[in-house]
Structure 1
Amino acid sequence: MKKLIRIAFKISIALIVISLTAVVTYRWVNPPITPLMISRAFDGAGINKKWVPIDQISPNLVCASIASEDNNFLGHRGFDLGAIYDAIDEHNRGKRQRGASTISQQTAKNVFLWSGKSWIRKGLEVYFTFLIEHVWGKERIMEVYLNVIEMGNGVYGAEAAAQHYFGRSASQLTKRQAALIVAAYPNPRQRDPAHPTAYLNKRAAQIQRLMPLMGTIAFDDECIASSRERYDKYLEKRKAAQKRKQNKK
């Protein structure tokens, strides 16, 4: 029994060292491929991707991604507690649950983990999200996210998607084009931003209306600190309102 415990301990330490090494390495080295890309390739899809630095990606796509996927990206520490509270509340009321996964969580999942749903995978997602938030920072997370996320059948990242759908570079995407690409995120293999359905047009229009509400999006320390202060105040108000609601029961 003691021998098994020692073996398990050594394996755990080895996995931690390997994961930390990967996270630190990807702070400066761009991930060459992801588990999802490999999985899709086995299914017959190609791998169309071209890495570009974040300063060569249109701010419109950054803004549209935050507006659609993670309003509090700059403010939270990897997990949007407000969105989690909303999801729990909707579950308790029997309503259709909205996703509470942040851009940080999606990035951790895409870069380091396999597809599917399990408690083990979810636990590892939390672990890797914590690591990249502290090692990479917001700008690097967004850069990696917009370069590895699936944006079509065999199409990965902003540059490949911009060229594939609109025949232009990622830096030239308009607000409308950015909103269409982001609107297709939940099911990119079935949705075509270049030939949008009525639903995709409607969703893109919603994202465009949200984009101006995101305010200033910058990755400097001052902007991050300001965003976190606003986010913390929002959570405090949320907790106070919840407490008042419970006291009335």
Structure 2
Amino acid sequence: MLNCRRPNRRKSSSGRNQHSLATRLVAIAVYTAFFLVITPVFLAIVYRFVPVPVTPLMVVRLFEGHGLHKTWKPLNQISPHLRQAVVAAEDNLFCVHNGFDWKALNKAIDQWQEGNASKGGSTISQQTAKNVYLLPTRSILRKAVEMPLTMLIENLWPKQRILEVYLNIAEWAPGVYGAEAAARHHFKTSAKNLTRQQAAQLAAILPRPLHWSAAKPGPYVRQRSNQIIRRISGLGPTYLGCTQPLKK
């Protein structure tokens, strides 16, 4: 007598479902990776020519109850005193490095390993990449993500554009972003008309803009601003050349 068994449809169906689930998971992973790679590149190309409308930090500050005050200005409408002061204060190798100050970065890593949290080591290029793309968190993971983003803008933007974007999105007071809004907020003037001393005081408060005032500087900010002015005098054209707007 023949023993005719029916195929085990349950097992077959289960195998197909597992295969289908694996395929979907792979597709999701591929699309996610594609999105994470393509989006920063697309934004970098767009922001090479178009003002950055908003940054993650601005959104966070809005949720914290701060306003949003900013007016985009091209580099040639920002005082050369401020352009030079920011480079002298934040990254005096900006014009000559490829996005990273490895000596300062290694020092910051050593301090972190010793348990000393430090804000040092970030170049203007790194700060620009962080401000454009990332939330204002402090972690090794964020630093790791920040590095390829820094290389991206360093390769797609000239130094003048990096500086222009930085000067227009940097935080200078609660809800105050960019050189123009900062000049209006602290000194009731325009970014173009900032004096050398005013520019140095604005550059001096960049590390702690929510706590320090450029208009009413305390002893540290006064000391720091005078130090910035002296540093500008010692840098020269090699280290300040890229603060000049590109000729059209």
Q: TM-score, normalised by structure 2?
A: 0.83
Report the counterpart of residue 186 of structure 2 in structure 1: 165
Residue from 59, 65, 76 that aligns with 1:55 = 76
Which structure 2 residues correspond to residues 99-114 of structure 1 after superposition, within 5 A? 99-114=120-135
Question: Counterpart of 1:37 in structure 2: which amino acid?
Answer: M
Cα distance in structure 2, aligned partners of 1:87 and 1:62: 25
Q: Give secondary structure in 1 for the equivalent of 2:95.
A: coil
Report the counterpart of residue 189 of structure 1 in structure 2: 210
Cα distance in structure 2, aligned partners of 1:39 and 1:92: 29
Cα distance in structure 2, aligned partners of 1:67 and 1:99: 14
Deviation of 1:127 (Å): 1.7
Report the counterpart of residue 21 of structure 1 in structure 2: 42
Which structure 2 residues correspond to residues 232-247 of structure 1 after superposition, within 5 A? none
Cα deviations by residue, 1:29-55 (Å, 9 ceiling, x for unpaired)? 111111111111111111111100000
Contact 1:47 1:156 in 2 (8 A): yes
Which structure 2 residues correspond to residues 100-249 of structure 1 after superposition, within 5 A? 100-216=121-237, 217-219=240-242
Q: Percent identity?
A: 45
Q: Give secondary structure in 2 for the equivalent of 1:151.
A: strand
Question: What 5-or-longer segments of structure 2 have no aligned partner?
Answer: 1-20
Count of aligned pairs: 222
Q: Give secondary structure in 1 for the equivalent of 2:50.
A: coil
Cα distance in structure 2, aligned partners of 1:125 and 1:150: 18
Alpha-carbon distance change, 68 to 12 in structure 1, aligned in 2, over 3 angstroms: same
Cα distance in structure 1, aligned partners of 2:231 and 2:136: 30
Bigger Rg, structure 1 or 2: 2
Q: After the TM superposition, which segments of 4 or more aligned residues of structure 1 sit over 6 Å from their partners?
A: 91-96
Q: Give secondary structure in 2 for the equivalent of 1:159.
A: helix
Question: Counterpart of 2:57 in structure 1: which amino acid?
Answer: L
Cα distance in structure 2, aligned partners of 1:175 and 1:135: 31
Cα distance in structure 2, aligned partners of 1:28 and 1:177: 29
Cα distance in structure 2, aligned partners of 1:25 and 1:179: 31
Residue from 61, 66, 75 that aligns with 1:40 = 61
Alpha-carbon distance change, 208 to 41 in structure 1, aligned in 2, over 3 angstroms: same
Q: Give secondary structure in 2 for the equivalent of 1:74.
A: coil
Question: Counterpart of 2:227 in structure 1: which amino acid?
Answer: Q
Residue from 65, 75, 78 that aligns with 2:99 = 78
Report the counterpart of residue 236 of structure 1 in structure 2: none
Q: Give secondary structure in 1 for the equivalent of 2:49.
A: coil
Alpha-carbon distance change, 196 to 92 in structure 1, aligned in 2, over 3 angstroms: same
Question: Counterpart of 2:122 in structure 1: which amino acid?
Answer: S
Cα deviations by residue, 1:90-135 (Å, 9 ceiling, x for unpaired)? 6678888560000000001111111112333222211211110001
Cα distance in structure 2, aligned partners of 1:219 and 1:191: 28
Deviation of 1:142 (Å): 0.1
Alpha-carbon distance change, 96 to 129 in structure 1, aligned in 2, over 3 angstroms: closer
Q: Give secondary structure in 2 for the equivalent of 1:207.
A: helix
RMSD: 2.3
Question: Counterpart of 1:156 in structure 2: which amino acid?
Answer: Y
Alpha-carbon distance change, 93 to 7 in structure 1, aligned in 2, over 3 angstroms: closer
Cα distance in structure 1, aligned partners of 2:32 and 2:191: 42
Question: Counterpart of 2:215 in structure 1: which amino acid?
Answer: A
Cα distance in structure 2, aligned partners of 1:91 and 1:128: 22
Contact 1:57 1:158 in 2 (8 A): yes
